[in-house]
Amino acid sequence: MPGMEDHAAGGRRGVSRGLAWGLILVVWTLLLLVFRPYVEMVLVAWETLPSHAHGYIVLAVVAYLFWTKWPHLAAIAYRPSARGFAALVLGSLVAMVGELTSVAAVVQFSVVFLIFCTVWAVGGDRAARVSAGPISFLVFAVPFGQEALPVLMNWTADATVVALRHSGVPVFQEGRNFVIPSGRWSVVEACGGIRYLLSSIFIGAVFAYLTFTQTHKRVLFMVWSVVMPLLANWLRAYVIVMVAHHSNNEWGMGVSHLALGWIIFGIAVFVGFAVGARWRDPQPEVPRGGPAMAGSSLAVMLAASVLAAAIPPGIARSAEALTARTSSTETPQLRFDSLSDLERDSSDADGIRPSFPGARAVHQARYKTRDGETVDVFIAYFRQQEQGAELINVSNMVEPSHDWSWSTSSTVRRDSATVPQVRLEGYVKGGRHAAVYQVYWVNGTTTPSDAVAKLNEALSRLRGRGDDSAAIILTMYSQDNLEAARLKTEAFAAERLDGVLADLQRTAEGGK
């Protein structure tokens, strides 16, 4: 393969395995220091998120896999690769985009890719090929997957209700809440199964890598590792409800609730391993003898290491320069003429109170509509976004108090050219239903999607238009059901949302 070869080396062996990996480790250390804030966020997630408590285990697994590859790494010649440096530049550009849009996960995944690219650039093509497997497991160290939790909760609720009905138990369902003759149940975040799913995918990936060498076997086992925890979690939820139903709610609650879940998960994992082990592939033999080709000299390896260490921070700093050039420093002044004719409602009635702590400006008010209905309007405006103070962030919550039960989450299509889609969040408390419309506005574009909002923000910055954006959240209530509340929210949105967007556009233009 083409590479940056040291032609003067002739027949010399070049640098040793230990020295080559010593240089690579130095570059890795500098790389982690460059992206230190994002590395620290990963460590915090390991300590605070139960679904990612296996982070330290990931590092131990990667170290063990490298140890198993150590004899293979002794049988190759280390020569810097031009392809590796091209990949290093590409990974640095992706990390720059992640920094521009303040998407920590993009930067963190890019750092994993840059760790691999460092081996490729400094150690060469063969070193990259041998170490690709162990390094790839660092992907599981990145805290991701929480975005799937609402979908998993919906699936768990639907699967449980279907199973109960097939068991002859009458069920009334509303979103993630359902009622059976023995009591009321709600699928909360802990019931979504995200921890089971992420743990199963990681464990399954390790097992498939160590057990199989054929790609199709690894793919099939990974498919099983995704499907199995979903089925196990649905079975867990069904069994818990049935046990509680037939024991007058004396069992299936509290500690037994959690224990039963892990027992079912453990049995499913054991069965998967037992079946997979029957089709185990023979492992490749460890190569013997020295490298067949000469490696590069120490001078070439040092030069490659210095260049590999300089590329990521150089490109990352260009992101800072671009952000400084395109962002306004003025504090946005919010004024909503489109809502000025509405009467303010000063009542202290309970309602949805969103929290977006990083916003530069917030408009939060309760109004009386012309029909005498109550509507809560929340608008969080962002400018000069940075990590922790951004439109899309896990700290931003529609209902931070958790006093309202989260019943549904979906995307609603609207007959509107300016806002064709919104995200509908449904909540219930004491028989009172709340229908929440949420949409993101990014410099003239609207979307209910977190990912699309981030993409629009990146494009806006690259075009030199800054990163002005806002979260618009409208909430109305009904004593009847969620659909009745949604129709009220839709009517208000149809009447006022276009005006709110025009007010936001004037705010953005006033800061330029």
Q: Both 492 and 372 in a single domain?
A: yes
* Residue 429 included in any domain: yes
pLDDT tens sequence across 188-237 = 766 777 888 888 889 999 999 989 888 889 999 999 988 888 888 888 88
Q: Both 24 and 67 in a single domain?
A: yes
- Give the pLDDT of residue 329: 61
Q: Both 399 and 464 in a single domain?
A: yes
Q: Both 365 and 505 in a single domain?
A: yes
* Residue 290 included in any domain: no
Q: Both 103 and 120 in a single domain?
A: yes
The full length of the chain comes to: 512
Q: Are 477 and 432 in contact (CB under 8 A)?
A: yes
- Residues with Cβ within 8 Å of 89's Cβ and at least 6 positions away in sequence, in order, are 311, 315
- Give the pLDDT of residue 85: 95
- DSSP annotation of 511: T
Q: Both 243 and 190 in a single domain?
A: yes
* Residue 474 included in any domain: yes
- Give the pLDDT of residue 35: 92
pLDDT at position 37 over 80: yes
pLDDT tens sequence across 354-372 = 999 989 999 999 999 888 8
Phi and psi torsions of 76, nearest 5°: -125, 160
Residue 438 β-bridge partners: 423, 473
* Residue 217 included in any domain: yes
Whole-angstrom CA distances from 67 to 17, 32, 64, 122, 344 are 13, 22, 5, 20, 67
Domain that holds residue 202: 146-277
* Residue 367 included in any domain: yes
- The candidate with the shortest Cα–Cα distance to 274, out of 331, 231, 224, is 224
Confidence label for 9 from pLDDT (cuts 50, 70 and 90):
very low
- Give the pLDDT of residue 10: 42
- Residues with Cβ within 8 Å of 426's Cβ and at least 6 positions away in sequence, in order, are 175, 406, 407, 408, 409, 433, 434, 435, 436, 482, 485, 486
pLDDT tens sequence across 66-116 = 998 888 888 888 899 999 999 999 999 998 888 877 778 889 999 999 999
- Strand segments (E) across 443-490: 445-447, 469-478
What is the distance between the alpha carbons of residues 245 and 302, in angstroms, rounded to a whole number?
69
Q: Both 400 and 319 in a single domain?
A: no
What is the distance between the alpha carbons of residues 466 and 456, in angstroms, rounded to a whole number?
11
Q: Both 192 and 77 in a single domain?
A: no
The answer for 444, left when phi > 0, alpha when psi is -120 to 50, beta otherwise, is left
The two three-digit tokens of residue 140, written as one number: 């599981």
* Continuous segment of H or E residues that includes residue 439: strand 432-442
* Residue 1 included in any domain: no
- Give the pLDDT of residue 1: 40
Q: Both 316 and 437 in a single domain?
A: no
Going across the sheet that includes 177-180, the strands are 172-174, 177-180, 183-186
pLDDT at position 58 over 50: yes
Phi and psi torsions of 352, nearest 5°: -80, 125
Average of per-residue pLDDT across 53-75: 88
Average of per-residue pLDDT across 144-171: 85
3-state secondary structure 346-396: CCCCCCCCCECCCCCEEEEEEEECCCCCEEEEEEEEECCCECCECCCCCCC
Query: Which residue type occupies 107?
Result: V
* Residue 154 included in any domain: yes
Count CB atoms within 10 A of the CB of residue 105. 17
Confidence label for 491 from pLDDT (cuts 50, 70 and 90):
very high
pLDDT tens sequence across 285-317 = 666 655 455 677 888 889 999 999 999 988 877
Whole-angstrom CA distances from 95 to 109, 147, 324, 409 are 8, 20, 17, 31
Q: Both 172 and 126 in a single domain?
A: no
- Helix spans in 374-478 (H): 450-462
- Give the pLDDT of residue 354: 94
* Residue 284 included in any domain: no
Please state the domain count of the chain. Answer: 3
Q: Are 319 and 99 in contact (CB under 8 A)?
A: yes
pLDDT at position 330 over 80: no
- Residues with Cβ within 8 Å of 279's Cβ and at least 6 positions away in sequence, in order, are 212, 217
Q: Both 171 and 86 in a single domain?
A: no
- Side-chain-side CA neighbours of 55 within 13 Å: the count stands at 19
Q: Both 315 and 457 in a single domain?
A: no
What is the distance between the alpha carbons of residues 448 and 456, in angstroms, rounded to a whole number?
12
Q: In this predicted model, which residue has the larger pLDDT, 434 or 243?
A: 434
pLDDT at position 125 over 50: yes
Q: Any idea which residue has 């700290």 for tokens?
A: 395
pLDDT at position 496 over 90: yes
